[in-house]
Amino acid sequence: MIPFNKPYKTGKEYIYIEDAIQRGKLSGNGFYTKKCQKYLEYKYGFGKCLLTTSCTDALEMAAILIDIKPGDEVIMPSYTFVSTSNAFVLRGARIVFADSCPHNPNIDPNRIEELITDKTKAIVVVHYAGMACDMEKILAIAERNNIKLIEDAAQAVDSYYKGKPLGTFGHLAAFSFHETKNIISGEGGMLAINDMQYTDRAEIIWEKGTNRSAFFRGEIDKYGWVDIGSSFLPSEIIAAFLWAQIENINQIQEKRKAIWNRYNFHLKGNNNYYTTQEIESDATNNAHMYYLLCNSLEQRSKLISYLRNYNIHAVFHYLSLHKSPFYKDKHDDRELPNCNKFAERLVRLPLYVDLSLQEVDYICEKILAFEI
């Protein structure tokens, strides 16, 4: 079986984990945590980075930082993972789902402003497949209405919009280092803080509501419970694994892009039962995924089953959150046709660093031979 995903190891992970153990501090916010954070701040220009145990945790921190309260409204796409929504629901927010763009799963900027009310607290964008949302339009909407902007950049490490890294546009941004992402630590994430008014409080929330980080820096003579928070920071084992990935990010990206380009070479414009992924002119491609959009749900189901018969594990992705068992009764009656289209017709192909170009050729050969 050619799996959908296979976690990549550079070979240095074991060395750095052993080094973390020898350093005698494993509980987090140690040598490797600081090393990862500082490097990502430097490479991408984030204001402040804090590693977290998941992107979900980073989003939950963001919801706390912008002071989400019961009754607040948060606008976000319906075509996203449940964590995007859950982080704000946990604080009592009402989620207002927006439709996707006609030609890609990202939130349609032309559908946002009509959803804003005097209760709207934030807009959350999701850069699906690592391709940037139309940040120029969305930033203008957020600024015009004095609304916080948060980027769910779970899939968007090392991706850009008009030359600027994703994750640097919003007040806050959340990244994922889950094993399916470009750089990984098994589970893991990061909160990028670009509005520096949140920096000090973020550190407190990150440290279980205490000012312990300031204490360890010698800024105060004792620390205590000063705010709400939780155990959001990861262990040094996770950070050590992540460092091996971060220091090889250029090589990882080069390999992933070669695979993506090989798929596109074979599949783009070569069949009438699907369309291929398009990269917007203002966005870059970080090769997080390669997907096809079939003409119908029935075609997608048949294609996935057909590929399984040839030992190729292709998968669909998100279901529409506004139709979910948990939220369907809380959603208004608006139809979100583009979101539904992607939920029913999108299929993701295997893409991981160790996938050989010969295997890509084989996958493409079977896709092109598929008969509706």
Q: Are residues 256 and 276 in the same domain?
A: yes
Q: Are residues 95 and 198 in the same domain?
A: yes
Q: Which residue has the tokens 């997080």?
A: 288
Q: Per-residue pLDDT for 372 more than 90?
A: no
Q: Are residues 216 and 317 in the same domain?
A: no
Query: Using an 8 Å Cβ cutoff, are 282 and 162 in contact?
Result: yes
Report if residue 1 sits inside a domain: no
Average pLDDT of span 335-362: 98
Determine the pLDDT at residue 371: 86
Pairing of strands 148-152, 172-176: parallel
Q: Which helix (H) or strand (E) holds 347?
A: strand 346-348
Q: Are residues 241 and 256 in the same domain?
A: no
Q: Which residue has the tokens 């959009």?
A: 293
- Give pLDDT tens digits for 296-306: 999 999 999 99
Q: Which helix (H) or strand (E) holds 52?
A: strand 48-52
CA neighbours within 13 Å on the CB side: how many for 27? 2
Task: Name the region of 269 (left: φ>0; alpha: ψ -120 to 50; beta: rest).
Answer: left
Report if residue 5 sits inside a domain: no
- Three-state secondary structure call for residue 151: strand
The amino acid present at 104, given as its one-letter code, is N
Report if residue 136 sits inside a domain: yes
CATH number at residue 270: 3.90.1150.10
Average pLDDT of span 157-186: 98
Domain boundary among 187, 220, 246: 246
Question: What is the crossing angle of helices 236-246 and 249-267, to 10°?
Answer: 60
Determine the pLDDT at residue 2: 98
Report if residue 3 sits inside a domain: no
pLDDT band, residue 282 (cuts 50/70/90): very high
Query: Using an 8 Å Cβ cutoff, are 58 and 191 in contact?
Result: yes
Q: Per-residue pLDDT for 270 more than 80?
A: no
Q: Are residues 160 and 30 in the same domain?
A: yes
Domain boundary among 246, 261, 296: 246
- Three-state secondary structure call for residue 64: helix
Q: Per-residue pLDDT for 365 more than 90?
A: yes
Query: Using an 8 Å Cβ cutoff, are 194 and 47 in contact?
Result: yes
Average pLDDT of span 203-232: 86
Q: Are residues 58 and 188 in the same domain?
A: yes
Domain boundary among 246, 265, 282: 246
Q: Are residues 21 and 136 in the same domain?
A: yes
Q: Are residues 208 and 316 in the same domain?
A: no
Q: What is the extent of the structural domain holding 58? A: 13-246
**Torsion sign, CA atoms 364, 366, 368, 372:** negative
Average pLDDT of span 280-302: 97
* Residues with Cβ within 8 Å of residue 288, at least 6 apart in sequence: 129, 130, 155, 156, 159, 181, 182, 256, 351
Percent of the chain, pLDDT > 90? 93
- Report the range of poorest mean pLDDT among 57-66, 264-273, 300-309: 264-273
Burial class from Cβ neighbours inside 10 Å (0-12, 13-18, 19+) for residue 221 reads: exposed
Q: Are residues 354 and 264 in the same domain?
A: yes
Report if residue 2 sits inside a domain: no
pLDDT band, residue 132 (cuts 50/70/90): very high
Neighbours of 142 (CB within 10 A): 24
Q: Which of 307, 267, 270, 271 is nearest to 291 (CA)?
A: 267
Q: Are residues 148 and 284 in the same domain?
A: no
Report if residue 221 sits inside a domain: yes
Determine the pLDDT at residue 219: 79
State the total domains in the chain. Answer: 2
Give the pTM.
Answer: 0.96
Q: Are residues 177 and 35 in the same domain?
A: yes
Report if residue 7 sits inside a domain: no
Pairing of strands 160-161, 94-98: unpaired
Q: Per-residue pLDDT for 6 more than 90?
A: yes
Q: Per-residue pLDDT for 339 more than 80?
A: yes
Q: Per-residue pLDDT for 218 more than 80?
A: no
Q: Per-residue pLDDT for 220 more than 80?
A: no
CATH number at residue 39: 3.40.640.10
- Give pLDDT tens digits for 88-123: 999 999 999 999 999 999 999 999 999 999 999 999
* Residues with Cβ within 8 Å of residue 14, at least 6 apart in sequence: none
- Report the range of poorest mean pLDDT among 9-23, 112-126, 316-330: 316-330
CA neighbours within 13 Å on the CB side: how many for 127? 37
Report if residue 53 sits inside a domain: yes
Q: Are residues 309 and 190 in the same domain?
A: no
